[in-house]
Amino acid sequence: MNNNELQTIVERISSQFFNRPFCHKAIFNNKLRTTGGRYMLKSHNIEINPKQYQYYGEKALIDIIKHELCHYHLHILGKGYQHKNTDFKVLSKQVGAPRFCTLIQTYEERANYVYQCKSCGCQYLRIKKVDVKKMRCGKCMGKLSLIKRMN
């Protein structure tokens, strides 16, 4: 699927579920990693993570588009477009837009470092490197040491 096909699907979903036109751009963004899509407040464009479509298919893509269109239409109308707003929650429920998309990778799969407490032996997975001089064990406040670097 390319950006032109995505644009057509977004316009169709917007008119079908929201009874309003989508008058901006919808594109795939390969740089998105932890989110299924995002609505850009300044440009009003929608960006979609292409990996969601590749891994989970058209159903997941439609769910993400519905979610982002909720942000889009509420923002255009000057209503509460954030996840915490009642307007957003009500509209999401009306159109069947999910709160979250399915993860492509779990936190464990994304983790690059394994730290272990020197006192209690508790292990911690982290994506980014932490300063073991500052960070302490959350259970016993013992010192941490890097035991494994993955990837």
**Binding site feature residues:** 67, 71
Q: Detail the DSSP E strand segments found in the chain.
A: 26-28, 37-39, 46-48, 113-117, 123-126, 144-149
Catalytic residue among 58, 68, 108, 109: 68
| C-alpha radius of gyration, the chain, whole number | 20
13 token code pair: 């979903």
**Cα torsion 74, 76, 82, 85: sign:** negative
Rounded CA-CA distance 71/31 in Å is 20
Q: Which amino acid is at 126?
A: R
58 is catalytic: no
**Binding site feature residues for Zn(2+):** 67, 71
Q: 146 - beta bridge partners?
A: 115
Any idea which residues carry the catalytic annotation? 68
